[in-house]
Structure 1
């Protein structure tokens, strides 16, 4: 195993129709499965993954840009979809990362996004496992 820098912990109870709470209490959410329940309010694993992936990717993007001596202002929105898996009749997830980057050309924005995709720990963890689409836009 790699050298551990820090560890975060959260516990879920009763799956997609239950509750999730982090060990420090900052995350304390009711879970609702939007595929089965359109009326109740609550989070879901895809929403939590989208928040985590967006923040991790945007951090990697800014790190890559700083190493390339580019001053940028960026925003990443992750759309995580719950999908039917036709291979095993089960389910899978897919992600689209919508990245806006101020301070560079469109070509540079696309290159920075691709470089960040190579560096981001979430991109590394999902590579080859889920479909990830990058939409980089210079603004």
Structure 2
């Protein structure tokens, strides 16, 4: 796997499970997409530019899949996720020499859970998520789990 030496562009997403249909969503001038995934939960993908790039769309699709896998991984471990858990994904496109590559950075927030429990759930979710499995070993992937 090649690491990106120079990032050319990044696409970012912030995904949560919104249980309040009246909650404030995207700000003026941004795309506000409600994603769905198997299992019936709706996921928020907000604050993308009005004309999303491929990196933003990939990050958005990956985040909807991953946050669903996160819920499944937690339920398999018999752990209740906090109501305000979320996933931020940054997908980078960049160069190393003349080659072009993708990279991704995950920030997974599970406030109130023990760090080791949250990290185990995050790792298990990558084993479940088809997007994570598809890119495993093919792109540089960083994962940060935040529990505070």
TM over 0.5, shorter chain: yes
Q: 1:49 aligns with which of 54, 58, 68?
A: 58
Matched, 1:115 2:124: yes
SS of structure 1 residue aligned to 2:113:
coil
Deviations 1:62-119 (A, max 9, x none): 1000111100032001100111033xx1311100011001342011111111111111
Structure 1 residue 133: deviation in Å? 0.7
1:105 aligned to 103, 106, 114, which one?
Answer: 114
Higher strand fraction: Structure 1 or Structure 2?
2
Cα distance in 1 for residues equivalent to 2:147 and 2:116: 8
Which residue of 2 is the match for residue 20 of structure 1?
none
1:79 to 57, 66, 90: 90
The list of structure 1 runs, each at least 4 consecutive aligned residues, that deviate by more than 4 angstroms after superposition, is none
C-alpha RMSD over aligned residues: 1.8
- Scaled by the length of structure 1, the TM-score of the pair is 0.66
- Runs (5+) with no aligned partner, structure 2: 1-32, 34-48
CA–CA distance in structure 1, aligned partners of residues 139 and 107 of structure 2: 16
1:58 to 67, 71, 84: 67
Computing the radius of gyration from Cα coordinates, the structure with the larger value is: 1
Q: SS where residue 71 of structure 1 aligns?
A: coil
Q: Do 1:54 and 1:97's aligned partners in 2 also have CA atoms closer than 8 Å?
A: no
Residue 19 (structure 1) aligns with = none
